[in-house]
Amino acid sequence: MENEEKQPQHRGLKKGLYLIPTAFTAANIAMGFLAVLSSLRGFQVIAVSPDQAAIYFDYAAKAIGLAILFDTLDGRLARMTKTSTELGVQLDSLADVLTFGIAPVVLAYGWGIGAVFPEGSSVHNLGLFVLFTYLMCGVLRLARFNIQAVRPRVLREGTPKIDKKNFVGLPIPPAAGFIAALVHFSPEPLIYYGESVGKFYATLIMILLPILGGLMVSTVRHTSFKNVGMGKRNLYLVLVLGTLGMLVWLYSHYILLIVAGTYVSHGILFYLVGLLRLKKRKEVDVNG
């Protein structure tokens, strides 16, 4: 009788573990929802109060930053508790479409492109196309990741092999995080700096977005950090995270932009270094 009574409790505990990653995914969705609403509200009050608009845009950027934290934790907790499921993978991707696809697009539009270029102008329409391109690249990146994660063996030949240490292509959360870090660094709407300066910065954003989109669908590898904290050097990890957390608390405007920019660019640098090494090897083989 005792064994029969304990078994349902064990099953209930196991089922409860599956809810933990889902709760963090729900928090991710909530942050995306708040980021979209804050961006819309900021765009609405630009003409009335640019300073108030800056507060809303900063709220949206911070929400995206918190969503990255929740997205990181839900995957790590799922692996630690061995509660990863195909449903969880799909739910996480749907959440990422909102939080790291739609939310940064709405933020970039309200803060920059829509605030500077008149609606209906050719440059404004080009900005809409650029934003849509970024969103589509993000969706394609997530779809490719899902295929690799769930059914890696059915991929056609020539597709990069799954590597736990690296992501194939820039993940969508860091891409969104870089946009959010830019807004957090300077949350005032770009029109705040004057029409000519605002248009210049908005043009730079329109150049940046396709670059981020291209990196997402590329085969350039970026470090995944999935194995970080799994070895014997947890103490060093705690020290690094503690130091980084303190720096973010004190100088978030600078540190977050540096961290986001470093992560986005390190894949490109490693890719270029790899090409140079490959070129040197070919030269050695030819001369040898």
Residue that wins the pLDDT comparison between 279 and 6 = 279
Compute the residue count for the chain: 288
Task: Report the DSSP beta bridge partners of residue 166.
Answer: 223
Distance set, CA 18 to CA 2, 23, 272 (Å)? 25, 9, 41
Token pair in block for residue 279: 């070129």
Q: What is the pLDDT of residues 208-219, one digit of tens each?
A: 999 999 999 998
Helices (H), the chain: 2-44, 50-80, 86-96, 103-108, 114-116, 122-150, 172-185, 195-217, 234-287
Q: How confident is the model at residue 64 (pLDDT cuts 50, 70, 90)?
A: very high
Q: State the average pLDDT over residues 123-131.
A: 96
Q: Reply yes or no on whether the pLDDT at 2 is more than 50.
A: no
Range in 20-29, 50-59, 114-123, 200-209 with the lowest mean pLDDT? 20-29
Residue (of 167, 5, 176, 18) closest to 95 by Cα position:
176
Token pair in block for residue 174: 């860091």
pLDDT given for residue 164 in this prediction: 65
Q: What is the pLDDT of residues 156-182, one digit of tens each?
A: 445 545 556 778 889 999 999 999 999
CA 271 – CA 210 distance, rounded (Å)? 19
Q: What is the pLDDT of residues 183-216, one digit of tens each?
A: 999 999 999 998 899 999 999 999 999 999 999 9
Token pair in block for residue 193: 């700096």
**Integer distance in angstroms from the first to the last C-alpha of the chain?**
78
CA 227 – CA 224 distance, rounded (Å)? 8
Instruction: Considering only CA atoms, give the Rg of the chain.
Output: 22
Q: Reply yes or no on whether the pLDDT at 101 is more than 50.
A: yes
pLDDT given for residue 225 in this prediction: 73
Token pair in block for residue 189: 């709407």
pLDDT given for residue 175 in this prediction: 95
If you search the block for the tokens 């997402």, which residue do you land on? 216
**Which of 62-66, 193-197, 252-256 reaches the highest mean pLDDT?**
62-66
CA 122 – CA 94 distance, rounded (Å)? 32
Q: State the average pLDDT over residues 227-244.
A: 66
> Following DSSP, what letter does each residue of 64-99 receive, concatenated?
HHHHHHHHHHHHHHHHHTT---HHHHHHHHHHHIII
Can you list the domains of the chain with their CATH numbers?
Answer: 2-227 (1.20.120)
Q: How confident is the model at residue 91 (pLDDT cuts 50, 70, 90)?
A: confident
- Residues 142, 173, 51, 124: is their CA dihedral positive or negative? negative
What crossing angle do the helices spanning 86-96 and 2-44 adopt, rounded to 10°?
A: 10
